[in-house]
Amino acid sequence: MTARLVKAHSSHLSHWGIFDAAETAAGLDVRPDPGDPDPAHTLLRNVPAMLDERVRVLVPHVRRGFLERGAGPDERRGYDDYVPVAWERALSLAAGELERCRSTYGNASIFGGSYGWGSAGRFHHAQSQVHRFLNVLGGYTRSVETYSLGAARPLLRRIVGSDDPIMRPTSLPVLAEHTGLFVCFGGIPAKNAQVNDGGVARHTTIGHLRRARERGARFVLVSPLRDDLVDDLDAEWIVPIPGTDTALMLGLAHTLVRRGLHDAEFLRTHCVGFDEWWAYLDGRTDGVVRDAAWASGICGVAEERIAALAQEMAAHRTMITLSWSLQRARYGEQPLWAGIALACVLGQIGLPGGGVGHGYGSMAGIGGPRVDGPLPTLRQGQNAVRDFIPVARIADMLLHPGAGFDFDGARLRYPDIRLVYWAGGNPFHHHQDLARLRRAFSRPETVIVHEQFWTATARHADIVLPASTTLERDDIGCARGSDALVAMPRVTESRGEARSDFAIFRALADELGVGKEFDEGRDEREWLEHLYESWRDALPDGDDPGLDFAGFWAKGRIEVPGVTRHRVLYADFRAGPAAHPLPTPSGRIEISSSTIASFGYDDCPGHPTWLAPEFLADPPGTGPYPLFLVANNPATRLHSQLDHGAGSAGAKVAGREPVRMHPGDAAARGLVAGEVVLVESRVGSVLAGLVPSTDVAPGVVQLSTGAWFDPSAPDVATCVHGNPNAVTTDIGTSRLAQGCTGQLSRVEVRAAPAPLPPVRAHEPPVDPE
C-alpha cells in the first residue's frame, strides 16, 4: 500500500473514544488516547477498515432495474445489481426524483430517514445534514424517538415529566462514594460503556463501579447473562425468566409494603397514585395478590430470595439500575415504570447513592460528566411537514399508507411515502423482521441512499451516492455526556469519488435552486469556524475558552465549560417538591397516571402492571421454540458499523456471528463448539457459529445485533451471516410508545443443513462488466 500521509498521528474522535491515527506504508496506524483510563481497544481495531476499498462505495451507482424501468415499486430491490455512473448523472437523477415527488405528491411523500450514529463530528452529522437539506426543500415526513429508548421517553414524559433518569441520573462518582447495594436489572454491561453518542473523552464507568466495590458496595445482577456485569464486582447472579422483570419488581414492592419497610411519607408527599397501585398489588382490584409467591411463580426466582432481596434493599442505600434493554421488548414500558415505582416505595430517590437510574452502562456518558450549556451543532431549520412516525414503525408506514395507529394518546395515520432519502444509519441493522422490512422497501417509488459501504441499506436503494468517512474530512467533536471539545482533522483523502454529505447536498441544492439557502454561502471549513465561533458567542459570561477557531484547531482539544460532574437525581425535588415540582400534572412522580389511564390502552394501563408478553404463551422449554433469544448489542463493534473490521471479524465463528448458549442446552441438541447452527423463530431464521458458555443461563441463547444482513440463500436461512433481526418480531411495545421490541424472542437451535452457503454480506453487488 502506498502511504498517503496527511499529518503524522492526527488526533481524532469517534463514538468509542479519542484516538490518534496516521496512514503509513503498512496501513492505518491507530493508537488509543494515552489519557483514557479504559480505552476501547477492540472497537478501535475496526477503524482501519474504514479505508478498505473492497467494501467501500467508491463511485455513484444506480440499480439496474431503476435505470432500465425508471421509478416505481420494485421487488428487485435487494436482489438487483448496480451500475456505476458519473456524479453528474447521479445527481441529476436524484434531483429529478426529489422534484417529481414533491411537486406531484407533496413534501409529506418524502421520508427523511437518518437513524444511526454516523460521525462523532457535529458538522458532518448525517442526520443534521439530511434534515437541513430536506427542510430547505419544504420539509419531509420524519421519525421520532429511538430504537434504543422507544418505550422509555414517552413513558418518562408522563410519569416524571422529562428524561432526567436517562440523561441526568445520579453521577457515577456519587454512586462510587455512597451506594451500598446495586440492584442491576439488565446489568451494567462494560461493552456498552465503551461507546457514546457524539464521542467520549475518557471511559470511566467500570472504574467507578470498581471503586464502589472496593469501598464495600454489593452488587446484585438480575439478567439471563452473567457477563452483564464485570466479574471482579463479585455480583450475585439472579436469573428470572426473560421478560418477567416486571413481575419480580411487583413482588419486591409488595414485600416491602407488607413488611412495613416502605417510606410511607415519601409516597405521600412526593408521589401520586400509590394507593391505586397498592390496591392492584394487594389484590383488591381483581383478587390477585402480587406478592413474592406470586412473582416467583411467574419469574422463576425463589420466593425466599425475593423476600430476602426486598429486606436487603430496605436496609442499605440502594441504587436500582434499569438497563435500556428492559424496555426493548413487548410491554417494555412496564419494567421501567415498575422500577421507578419500586424506588419510590424504598423512598431513597434524591438521596446520594440511592434511588433509580435508567441506562448506566448503556452508553459511556450515562452518569458521567454532563454539559447542560450550548454545543456547536448544525441548525436543521424548520420542517413545514407535520407528519411523523415513531421510528420503529417504518415498515408499517411503507406497507400500509393511510392506515391508522395510536401513539402517546393521539390517533394518527401513516403518510403515503413515495421517496425514501436515507443518509446515516442502517435500518437493516436496527429494525426487526428483516424479511418484512425487505417487502416494505419494495413499495416506495424511489430510494436514495448516501453510504460509505455496501450495506444491506445500500443494496435496497435505487441511487447510491458514495459518502466519505470521518477519517476523510475535518470536523468538530463533542457530546452532552463528555467534557471535551475535540478538533477532528482529516487523516487521509477520500477514497474513490466519495464526497461528504454536505458536498452532496450542496450539489443537489444547487440543482434544485436552493443552494444559497442550504450552504448560506459557506464552504466546509467556513462552516466549522462558524459553528465554533457561534458556540463561543452563546456561552455564558466568563465561560469563553479564550481561543479563536484557529487557536482551538491548533491546540486540538479543550475542556467544555459548564460541565456538571457530581449530581444527585431529584435532590432538589426531594428537598422541596412544592418549591421544585416535576413537570408532571401533579408536580410529583406519578406511580399511577390519570393521563395514561385516560388513553384506554389495554397494553399500557394507568399504573405499573404485569402483562405477559406473547412470547411467554408457551412455558419455558416447551413448544416449537423452547429457547429465549437475547439479541443485545455486540462487544466487537458499534451496532453494525465496520462489521468487516478486524475486531468484529476476529470474533466470527466460521465467518458468521457467534451465538452463545449454555453447554447443557448445546449437548441436549447434539451441538458442539464451532459448529454452524440454524437459529429459527416463527418469523425467520439465521445461520450462526456456536459458542457454548456458562455465562448464558440455561434455556437462553444470545446473539448480538450488527452482522450485516445477508439474505443470499433464502432457501437455507433468512440471513446466512447471523443477523438476529431476521428472527425478531416487528411489533410495538404498546400503543403508548410504539417502541422497538427486538430484545427478546423465542427460538429453536439445531445443526445447520449441508452444504453451507457462503457469506456474501461484504461482497459488492456491482455489475461485473
Q: What's the CA dihedral at 185, 190, 195, 197 to 10 degrees?
A: 20
Note the maximum CA span of the chain. 77
Q: Which of 16, 82, 115, 422 is catalytic?
A: 115
The Cα 535–Cα 552 span in angstroms is 13
Task: Judge whether 280 counts as a catalytic residue.
Answer: no
All residues at 6 or more sequence positions from 553 whose CB lies less than 8 Å from its CB, including other chains: 487, 489
Instruction: Look at the block and give the residue holding cell 413448544.
Output: 623
The secondary structure element, H or E, covering residue 324 is none
Output the nine-digit C-alpha cell for 490.
Answer: 482529516
Dihedral sign of CA atoms 40, 42, 46, 48 in order: positive
* 368 in Cβ contact with 361 (< 8 Å): no
CA distances from 704 to 89, 198, 497, 506, 631 (A): 39, 22, 33, 38, 5
* 322 in Cβ contact with 149 (< 8 Å): no
Q: Which of 16, 82, 117, 337 is catalytic?
A: 117
All residues at 6 or more sequence positions from 183 whose CB lies less than 8 Å from its CB, including other chains: 220, 222, 309, 313, 318, 319, 320, 321
Output the nine-digit C-alpha cell for 733.
Answer: 411495545
At 14 the three-state DSSP class reads strand
Instruction: Please classify residue 6 by burial: count the beta carbons closer than 10 Å to its beta carbon, then call 0-12 exposed, 13-18 middle and 19+ buried.
Output: middle
The Cα 571–Cα 483 span in angstroms is 23
Query: How do strand 658-661 and strand 388-390 relate by DSSP bridges?
Result: unpaired
* Identity at 557, one-letter amino acid code: R
* 97 in Cβ contact with 465 (< 8 Å): no
Task: Judge whether 16 counts as a catalytic residue.
Answer: no
The Cα 573–Cα 2 span in angstroms is 61
* 144 in Cβ contact with 131 (< 8 Å): no
Catalytic site positions? 115, 117
